[in-house]
Structure 1
Amino acid sequence: MPAEAPLPPISRRHTFNVVFGGLLVFAWIALWLWERSPYGRYLNHAELGGFGHDPQSVSVLTQAALYIAGWLLMTTAMMLPTTLPLLDAFRRMTARREDRHHLLALVIASYLGVWLAFGIAAHLFDLGLHEAFEHVRWLQENPWIFGAGPLLLAGAFQFSKLKYRCLDRCRAPVGFVIQHWRGGNAAVQSLAIGAHHGLFCIGCCWALMLLMFAVGTGSVGWMLALGTVMAIEKNVSWGRRLSTPLGVALLVWAAAIALNHAWTWQ
């Protein structure tokens, strides 16, 4: 039988958009269902203080796996949409290769792998804070710090040079792919593209992602709100202009928490 004719560029792009959109829809639906399941607590990092003491007698290893799986699902739903321009540029760059689907999967896997490493580090840091809270009386008397602190950090970071340097790299996906697609081992290069893009993505979004530990982690509504903000910043033509008002809003929010605490203690 004659070989199947390759899909025209428009059909390939349509197929890519359908598959990509289907993956995101699946991730959001899975989050919504998980949030309402008996294991919804594993999406909420506020519950990390009880790590290892699950009332349902779940092993520590299983609890750790559930937290990691929850984080990976959250980053898939929240951060993968921000990579659409990069993935589309890479898809076009490798459109004539027979292994193009495999290479694209490697880019996605390495990108999510970097975010998974960040999530593990953030979880460990959060566990340390919970441990400190149990032993430091001042923190127990001032729990508002855990709300105002991440907001203050995220708001201040919106005005940093590092934020804009990383954001600019994320907003130029075609140049990024061309710079990193240097030939040689295609699989290794694909992994490198996903990992490097993930590092720049963390560089511009890490402070906002840490808000997940302060403003309703485990809430699909908050995940959707933060994910939308980060997608606009990276993908929309006017997205860069969102950074300053967002930073101001976060700083005002942090100040409001601090002032409310001061007023309460008067």
Structure 2
Amino acid sequence: MSVNVQSGEGRGIALPSRRAWGWIGFYALILLAWVSVALMARGQASGGIPAEFWAALCASAAEASLPALWAMWALMAAAMMLPTFVPALRTFADLSATGATTAAGAAALVAGYGAVWLTASALGAGAQAALARAGMLTPFGASLSPWLTAALLVGAGLYQFSVVKAACLAKCRMPLTFFMERWRPGAPAAFAMGLRLGAVCLGCCWALMALGFVGGVMNLVWMGAATLFMTLEKLPDIGRRLTRPVGWALIIAGGVTALRATGFV
């Protein structure tokens, strides 16, 4: 929607509506997260000030100082998980057209969703610190152990077939049903629904996010591929055709990795 105002020459100028500005801000947040991640990845490869930041992150992983690692994981989560939230947020925004909610409610929904992933980012940072102290990761978060790699791949593959994954995906694929079952007016209620949606999304995606330890937690190729897959998997018509084949592919890849570690391949 837009609002028309008249210029000095009498021509109409279309200005974005409040809802449009909200979407602009949301996508700007996603863009900012990806740009920040890309700058850090560039620093990893080419040096300069970003490389100094990466050096601090590496030291933090080895010494179990979590704040810098948490910031890195939070940026990664924002870049990867906010795009997957678009269908639910769009459904919520459509409800605002009926007067059922407001812009403050939409902001509260996003805040609740983000709070879950900020918490998950702290857990990811803790896992990276622990694995780094155990000597199982490179300084940039990639697995040094074929057995860890195999376990992550097989574990993520098996989770694709789990009841928990199926239940979470069912809710993610039907956001309107989710809101109809839990709807209450007001920003606090929207925040609570955002928390629930974040928990459901975490239930869908945590095992796939853990695969970052296979190739490096800030590997842009992996991040882009994982974001695309997790977004498509939440679409009803497309996602149902992807979940199980990807599960089998991950299990096979993990099995091959384990066989190579034992010398059979």
TM-score over 0.5 (shorter chain): yes
Q: How many residues align?
A: 238
Equivalent pairs: percent with the same residue? 33
Could you tell me whether the CA contact under 8 Å between 1:85 and 1:173 is conserved in 2?
yes
**Distance in 2 between the 1:98 and 1:163 partners?**
30
Matching residue within 170, 173, 176 for 2:172: 170
Could you tell me whether the CA contact under 8 Å between 1:43 and 1:217 is conserved in 2?
no
Could you tell me whether the CA contact under 8 Å between 2:112 and 2:191 is conserved in 1?
yes
Structure-2 residue corresponding to 1:55? none
Structure-1 residue corresponding to 2:129? 127
Gaps of 5+ in 1: 53-59, 135-141
Q: Which has the higher contact order (CA 8 A, sep 6+)?
A: 1
Give the superposition deviation at 1:263: 1.8
Q: Is 1:51 the counterpart of 2:63 in the alignment?
A: yes
Structure-2 residue corresponding to 1:56? none
Structure-2 residue corresponding to 1:84? 86
Give the superposition deviation at 1:181: 1.8
- Tell me: CA distance 1:177–1:42, structure 2 relative to 1, closer, same or farther (3 Å): farther
Could you tell me whether the CA contact under 8 Å between 1:78 and 1:223 is conserved in 2?
yes
**Distance in 1 between the 2:232 and 2:57 partners?**
24
Matching residue within 66, 76, 83 for 1:74: 76
Q: Deviation digits for residues 34-75 of structure 1, max 9, x if unmatched?
A: 22212235777xx764135xxxxxxx4xxx322222111111
- Tell me: CA distance 1:76–1:43, structure 2 relative to 1, closer, same or farther (3 Å): farther
Could you tell me whether the CA contact under 8 Å between 1:42 and 1:67 is conserved in 2?
no
**Distance in 2 between the 1:150 and 1:76 partners?**
22
Structure-2 residue corresponding to 1:235? 235
**Distance in 2 between the 1:32 and 1:132 partners?**
28
Structure-2 residue corresponding to 1:219? 219
**Distance in 2 between the 1:160 and 1:169 partners?**
15
Give the superposition deviation at 1:156: 0.6
Could you tell me whether the CA contact under 8 Å between 1:41 and 1:218 is conserved in 2?
no
Q: Deviation digits for residues 88-107 of structure 1, max 9, x if unmatched?
A: 11112234669822221221
In the TM superposition, 1:1-266 aligns within 5 A as: 14-36=20-42, 37-38=50-51, 39-40=53-54, 49-51=61-63, 60=65, 64-95=66-97, 100-133=102-135, 143-183=145-185, 186-235=186-235, 237-263=237-263
Give the superposition deviation at 1:16: 4.4
Q: Which moved more, 1:165-174 or 1:92-101?
A: 92-101
Give the superposition deviation at 1:205: 1.0
Could you tell me whether the CA contact under 8 Å between 2:73 and 2:124 is conserved in 1?
no
TM-score normalised by L of structure 2:
0.79
Could you tell me whether the CA contact under 8 Å between 1:34 and 1:40 is conserved in 2?
yes
Could you tell me whether the CA contact under 8 Å between 1:82 and 1:235 is conserved in 2?
no
**Distance in 2 between the 1:202 and 1:110 partners?**
13
C-alpha RMSD of the superposition: 2.9
Could you tell me whether the CA contact under 8 Å between 1:75 and 1:115 is conserved in 2?
yes
**Distance in 1 between the 2:236 and 2:21 partners?**
22
Could you tell me whether the CA contact under 8 Å between 2:184 and 2:190 is conserved in 1?
no
Q: Deviation digits for residues 137-167 of structure 1, max 9, x if unmatched?
A: xxxxx92112111111001101111111110
Give the superposition deviation at 1:23: 2.4
Could you tell me whether the CA contact under 8 Å between 1:79 and 1:227 is conserved in 2?
yes
